[in-house]
């Protein structure tokens, strides 16, 4: 079935909102992602569903991937969003094949907003190998009753980079993780990651 730009994207939004307001809650958008995949197959369909839900002419974005040029063209054709540099991007996509050096650069250079306009901070969408609620990282903060647990498998490390970037609340970046099974996990800037001490 074809992707319904009204109802399917509404569902993607509600699930993303649910995950954003309850950090650690993993929502699944496989149904919508499958419909996207039938039309465009050479790209992570969950990421693409998020892009279709969020991007339009008003959005500036940046892609970190080995196939950056192709993906940028595809996104631009689909949404008319404009490609830009890391510093001025509203949304940054870090795909699975991104270069670790470039990822470091993204976390360092991306806009964390400013004190008058903290909402101008970037949102980073990261394609992970898998996300689950296995006990690896412990999360606390708004949206979490006591604490929640996540395991995010990526080819690169991001926990320390994120902590550095988000050290001055309300400035900071918000992360959305997706994986191959179209799971969504969000980490707004308010969420604190407590590293468990082994033993």
Partner 1 sequence: MRIEYNFAFFDEGSKREIRRATLKAVAIPGYQVPFASREMPIARGWGTGGLQLTLSLVGKEDILKVIDQGSDESVNAVNIKKLIIKTTGIKVTDETSEATIIQSRHRIPEIPLQAGQILVLQVPLPEPLRYYEPSELETKKLHAEQEYSGAWLMLFEQIMNYGTMSTGADHPAMVHDRYVMAPSPIPRFDNPKLNHSQALILLGAGREKKVYAVPPYTRVESLAFEDFSFEVESFQDKCCGLCGAKGVFLDEILDDLTGETFHQCNDTSYCLQRLNQKSAG
Q: How far apart are CA 95 and CA 178, in angstroms?
A: 10
Report how many residues bind partner 1 under the rule CB under 8 A. 38
| 123 contributes a contact to partner 1 by CB under 8 A | yes
Answer for which of 34, 130, 138, 190 binds partner 1 (CB under 8 A) is 190
3-state secondary structure of 147: coil
| 167 contributes a contact to partner 1 by CB under 8 A | no
Give yes or no for a contact between 76 and 82, defined as CB atoms under 8 angstroms apart: yes
| 42 contributes a contact to partner 1 by CB under 8 A | no
Residue with Cβ nearer partner 1 (169 or 196): 169
Task: Find where tokens 């590293």 sit.
Answer: 195
Q: How far apart are CA 180 and CA 159, in angstroms?
A: 21
Handedness of CA 170, 179, 35, 71 (dihedral sign): positive
Task: Select from 65-73, 95-103, 153-161, 186-194 the region that touches partner 1 (CB under 8 A).
Answer: 186-194
Residue with Cβ nearer partner 1 (12 or 106): 12
Determine how many CB atoms are found less than 10 A away from the CB of residue 81.
Answer: 21
Q: How far apart are CA 9 and CA 69, in angstroms?
A: 25
Residue with Cβ nearer partner 1 (50 or 63): 50
Answer for which of 41, 119, 198, 199 binds partner 1 (CB under 8 A) is 119
Residue with Cβ nearer partner 1 (170 or 180): 170
Min dist. Cβ of residue 174 to partner 1 (A): 5
Residue with Cβ nearer partner 1 (4 or 99): 4
Residue with Cβ nearer partner 1 (13 or 83): 13
What is Dmax (Cα atoms) for the chain? 52
Site for partner 1 in 57-116 (CB under 8 A): 58-59, 114-116
Min dist. Cβ of residue 10 to partner 1 (A): 5
97-102 long-range Cβ contacts below 8 angstroms, 24+ apart = 97/65, 97/66, 97/67, 98/64, 98/65, 98/66, 98/156, 99/64, 99/66, 100/155, 100/156, 102/64
Chain residues binding partner 1 by CB under 8 A are 5-7, 9-11, 13-14, 16-18, 20-22, 53-56, 58-59, 114-119, 121, 123, 142-145, 169-170, 174, 188-190
């Amino acid at each position: 079935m074809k992707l319904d730009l009204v109802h399917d994207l509404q569902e993607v939004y509600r699930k993303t909102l649910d995950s954003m307001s309850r950090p650690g809650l993993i929502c699944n958008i496989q149904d919508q992602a499958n419909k996207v995949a039938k039309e465009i197959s050479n790209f992570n369909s969950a990421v693409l569903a998020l892009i279709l839900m969020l991007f339009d002419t008003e959005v500036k974005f940046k892609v970190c991937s080995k196939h950056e040029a192709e993906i940028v063209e595809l996104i631009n054709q689909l949404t008319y969003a404009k490609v830009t540099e890391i510093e001025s991007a509203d949304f940054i996509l870090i795909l699975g094949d991104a270069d670790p050096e470039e990822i470091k650069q993204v976390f360092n250079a991306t806009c964390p907003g400013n004190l008058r306009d903290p909402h101008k901070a970037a949102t980073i969408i990261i394609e992970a190998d898998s996300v689950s609620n296995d006990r690896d990282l412990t999360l606390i903060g708004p949206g979490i009753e006591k604490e929640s647990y996540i395991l995010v498998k990526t080819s690169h490390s991001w926990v320390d980079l994120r902590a550095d970037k988000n050290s001055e609340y309300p400035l900071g970046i918000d992360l959305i993780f997706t994986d191959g099974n179209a799971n969504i996990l969000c980490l707004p800037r308010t969420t604190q990651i407590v590293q468990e001490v082994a033993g």
